[in-house]
Amino acid sequence: MILSNVVATQIPFHAEYNGVVPEIASRMHTEWISRVVQEALDNASLRPGDVDAVAATAHPGLLGSLLVGLSFAKAFAWAKNIPFIAVDHMLAHLYASRLVYSGPDPSTTEYPFLGLLVSGGHTIICRADNFDDITILGTTIDDAAGEAFDKVSKHYGFGYPGGAVIDKLAKTGNSNSFNFPMPNLHKGDHRCDVSYSGLKTAVVNQLAQFRVGPEPEGGDRSEDIAASFQKTAVEILLRALFRAVEDSGLSTIIAGGGVAANSYLRAKAAERQDLRFVFPPLELCGDNGAMVAGLAYKYLASGERSDLRATASARVRSFKRQYKGR
């Protein structure tokens, strides 16, 4: 059960740069972390002494920000002499929807299933055999899905963060105004991979080339660019995912990460009535503490603890193979 879930957004501080500035991010984490933890405790009507264990994200992510959370959590655990658990960011995204799942215990009854993890830094299509055990079937060979939204939005000055802005603009746009290209990644090892750099280049540098029909009077509408881009971006993702469905024979897909909030992705997923898609509620799609705590609880329940020497790393060690979160 989620007792409190405080998300301190830094969006206004990064908006003027149209993207996350790592130095600002880690500085603000340092300035805010005590207050955020205090607020989380207050919302749950708890005192520091009531906490049984502390978790933090160790990887992947921006190193400076990860180190702030990790150091704080380790110090808290050490001071209170309680277990400390370091978790993987992407496994936490995969766990997010399970926090509010209301069926039989999902964590023991439903594996294996497919995971669709789509954030600003990662795009992962995987088979999940347990909460801490995924095998990566597909990933991006260049930009992450969220990154493509952010870059297109930045180029056209739509706003920041790009995904949410494009999602909103696209609602009043014509998604057939442009016929953007899809990557050609259907062979061998790349069957379930995605690529976004071609789409990004087409949208940013070759707009006229992919316009369907003449240029409208007054120039291209932002809404039409947004809708056409979003349609192709989601098609790229779903095409790779549906290949993973075919190859694996699995028909339950659990989504997570900021891009899982996308309304067009959700609508297209709902069209496949032969598949069971599970999306987290919107507030659990983007980065949040509840998903980290939820995943950590699984480790705690299975008797696992992290060493206080656990450190942060910016990247996951390897893609396209079995991925143990720790």
Contacting residues toward ligand KG4, per CB under 6 A: 119-121, 146-147, 149-150, 161-164, 167, 257-259, 261-262, 286-287
Q: Among 123, 258, 257, 125, which Cα is nearest to 199's? A: 123
The beta strands (E) that lie in the chain are given as: 54-59, 84-88, 113-118, 123-130, 133-139, 252-256, 276-278, 322-324
Partner whose binding site includes residue 115, from ligand KG4, Zn ion, none (CB under 5 to 8 Å by kind): none
Phi, psi for 85 (deg, rounded to 5):
-130, 120
Partner whose binding site includes residue 18, from Zn ion, ligand KG4, none (CB under 5 to 8 Å by kind): none
Closer by beta carbon to Zn ion, 7 or else 75: 7
Supply the minimum distance, in Å, between the C-beta of residue 104 and ligand KG4.
28
Rounded to whole angstroms, how far apart are CA atoms 19 and 151? Answer: 9
Q: Which residues contact 71 (CB under 8 A, 6 or more apart)?
A: none
Q: Is residue 119 a contact residue for Zn ion (CB under 5 A)? A: yes
Closer by beta carbon to ligand KG4, 115 or else 120: 120
Rounded to whole angstroms, how far apart are CA atoms 305 and 296? Answer: 9
Supply the minimum distance, in Å, between the C-beta of residue 57 and ligand KG4.
9
Supply the minimum distance, in Å, between the C-beta of residue 265 and Zn ion.
16
Supply the minimum distance, in Å, between the C-beta of residue 35 and ligand KG4.
20
Give Cα separations from 274 to 114, 115, 219, 321 (angstroms). Answer: 14, 17, 41, 28
| Dmax (CA) of the chain | 68
Closer by beta carbon to ligand KG4, 167 or else 193: 167
Dihedral sign, CA of 137, 259, 109, 60? positive
Supply the minimum distance, in Å, between the C-beta of residue 216 and Zn ion.
37
Instruction: Determine the residue type at 13.
Output: F
Closer by beta carbon to ligand KG4, 115 or else 121: 121
- The one among 88, 143, 224, 287 contacting Zn ion by CB under 5 A: 287
CB-count exposure of residue 33 (10 Å: 0-12, 13-18, 19+): middle
Partner whose binding site includes residue 288, from ligand KG4, Zn ion, none (CB under 5 to 8 Å by kind): none
Partner whose binding site includes residue 259, from ligand KG4, Zn ion, none (CB under 5 to 8 Å by kind): ligand KG4
**Cβ–Cβ under 8 Å, residues 165 and 261:** no
Supply the minimum distance, in Å, between the C-beta of residue 10 and Zn ion.
14
Q: Chain-centre distance of CA 42, in angstroms?
A: 28
Partner whose binding site includes residue 289, from ligand KG4, Zn ion, none (CB under 5 to 8 Å by kind): none
The enclosing H or E element of 95 equals helix 89-95
Partner whose binding site includes residue 163, from ligand KG4, Zn ion, none (CB under 5 to 8 Å by kind): ligand KG4
Supply the minimum distance, in Å, between the C-beta of residue 90 and ligand KG4.
8
Which one of the spans 4-12, 281-289, 299-307, 317-325 is the region binding Zn ion (CB under 5 A)? 281-289
Partner whose binding site includes residue 69, from Zn ion, ligand KG4, none (CB under 5 to 8 Å by kind): none
Phi-psi region of 45 (alpha: psi -120 to 50; beta: other; left: phi over 0): left
Q: Is residue 288 a contact residue for Zn ion (CB under 5 A)? A: no
Supply the minimum distance, in Å, between the C-beta of residue 258 and Zn ion.
6
Chain residues in the site for Zn ion (CB under 5 A):
119, 287
